[in-house]
Amino acid sequence: MKISCAQLNYHIGNFKGNLEKMLNAIEVAKSEGADIVCFGELATCGYPPRDFLEFDDFIVHCEESIKTLTDAADGIAVVVGSPTRNPVPEGKDLYNSVYFLAQKKVLHVQHKALLPTYDIFDEYRYFEPATVFDVVEYKGKKIALTVCEDIWDVENENPLYTVSPLDEMVKYAPDFIINVSASPFNYSHESARKEVIRKNVLRYNIPMLYINHVGAQTEVIFDGGSIAMSPNGNIYKEFNYFEEAQSTIDLGELIKGESLQEQAMSKIQKIHDAIVLGIKDYFGKLGFSKAILGLSGGIDSAVTAVLATEALGRDNVRVLLMPSQFSSDHSVNDARQLAENLGIQYDIIAIKDIYEQYMLSLKPIFGELPFNVTEENLQARVRGMLNMALSNKFGHIVLNTSNKSEMAVGYGTLYGDLCGGISVIGDVYKTEVFELAEYMNRNKELIPRNTITKPPSAELRPNQKDSDSLPDYEILDTILYQYIEERKGPSEIIASGYDEKLVKRILRLVNINEFKRYQTAPVLRVSPKAFGMGRRMPIVGKYLS
């Protein structure tokens, strides 16, 4: 038996586009002599559809896609994820299901049992969990169909769940497992995913075909990396990351487990490729093509500019250099040099006169009050206004250039440098931004060396440095990581050797600046715990305040 696995980039609610991709993949599978072709979880509508699932018309479109795919299941079987209606009045209205279509008929439907409701997932909001488990027989083989999370409770070890679907299905002696997934990317998830698949195939001594999504849906990025794993735990085939792919697997060869084809990527390479894909799909799926950002001569805007240029092409990226009276000459020169290295359009608008006009207008109210953060924020908002003006006039989308360290502690100005349509590096700590810059310069110097080596500064007052307001980023990022990603409280972090006053100050800054993060752009998610839909914190909570 031959099984074709199609790792596709779906678009939420784009039923026509998603269907066309799958119909094309069916024809490719047929040409390669495949008996079965497999697609991902909720492939008809894209993942995560969120509250679109509450619209009856949305479900009707999913059903119409299944009808078309059923008609196409002629001479080949089709495995595809789609929502289905719950026919009984008790429980949720829908199931998250996987169809097995063959001979122009629906031969089997298996519902998802384990519904993740943590981090970015919220499936109990929409779906009823499965309570019935079976296998489907096709061409003399018994097949266990599972949906994403259903393979993640090996040996009933996950306290979130009370059943292991494959423990139930194995009673019917399946010959192999197909898992249709929509497993989002973070830089550490790949190894966990492989380990879970390996635990399953070793436990049940049968091979698994794991088909994942690829592509970005706003902030959520899917990395692909679909896998065919042999019963001995060897990876027979691992699909490329961050790109569409289709391959036909011979079941007999898969069972032998003699071949090993595995991808190898560093953490920074994965973050880089994920963000490039995230930008590309955010613009492409929304029908945008051109981006603009403020280029300061600092490392954050430099890294953002390189990522945008890789994603959109140099003709579609424009940068605005907006020096103030506090900007150093080398910052302007570094920004200009980067723009020329990338071959992107740049314009220079000095903000000194605009800023002074604001101050003149505010003089009757401010009087002789001393210079403080107000004047610093005013400069940032002038820059934000200029970026937005060009955005409106020329149809460019503003890219936010704030990093995760700054967003965490509120080191940014609402309606100023925090403005933008998408936050490109908002899930990348400052120390990781430096690593990205070095990675980008691996073949030739794109980012000027001075941009990487000079002390970070917002340049909003004379001789300003980030270290005036923040601890060194190596210390700051380690404390932030323990609090945000590892969810450790202050006592645990202090016990690991950090100064008590410093820890409490940093954690307080994180909490009191939640209101800023609520008003900023969606953040491309590359870590296990990103700001946004996966981290839900109260604005008015008093914890550590």
Residues annotated as catalytic (active site), given as ranges: 41, 112, 148
Cα–Cα distance measured from residue 512 to residue 227, given in angstroms and rounded to the nearest whole number: 43
Let me know: does 108 contact 130? Beta carbons within 8 Å. Answer: no
Cα–Cα distance measured from residue 241 to residue 2, given in angstroms and rounded to the nearest whole number: 23
How is residue 226 written in tokens? 């679909």
In degrees and rounded to multiples of 5, residue 344 shows phi and psi of: -105, 155
Number of Cβ within 10 Å of residue 205's Cβ equals 9
In degrees and rounded to multiples of 5, residue 390 shows phi and psi of: -65, -35
Using CA atoms in the order 338, 341, 342, 347, what is the torsion angle rounded to 10 degrees?
50
Q: For residue 242, with 0-12 CB atoms within 10 Å meaning exposed, 13-18 middle and 19 or more buried, which class applies?
A: buried
Residue located via tokens 């009087």: 367
Let me know: does 151 contact 112? Beta carbons within 8 Å. Answer: no
Residues shown for the chain: 545
Cα–Cα distance measured from residue 4 to residue 38, given in angstroms and rounded to the nearest whole number: 6
User: Helix, strand, or coil here: 163?
Assistant: coil
In degrees and rounded to multiples of 5, residue 508 shows phi and psi of: -65, -40
Positive or negative torsion for Cα 26, 28, 32, 38: negative
Strand partners for 137: 142
Q: What is the per-residue DSSP string for 175-200?
A: SEEEEE---B--TTHHHHHHHHHHHH
Helices (H), 315-370: 329-342, 352-366
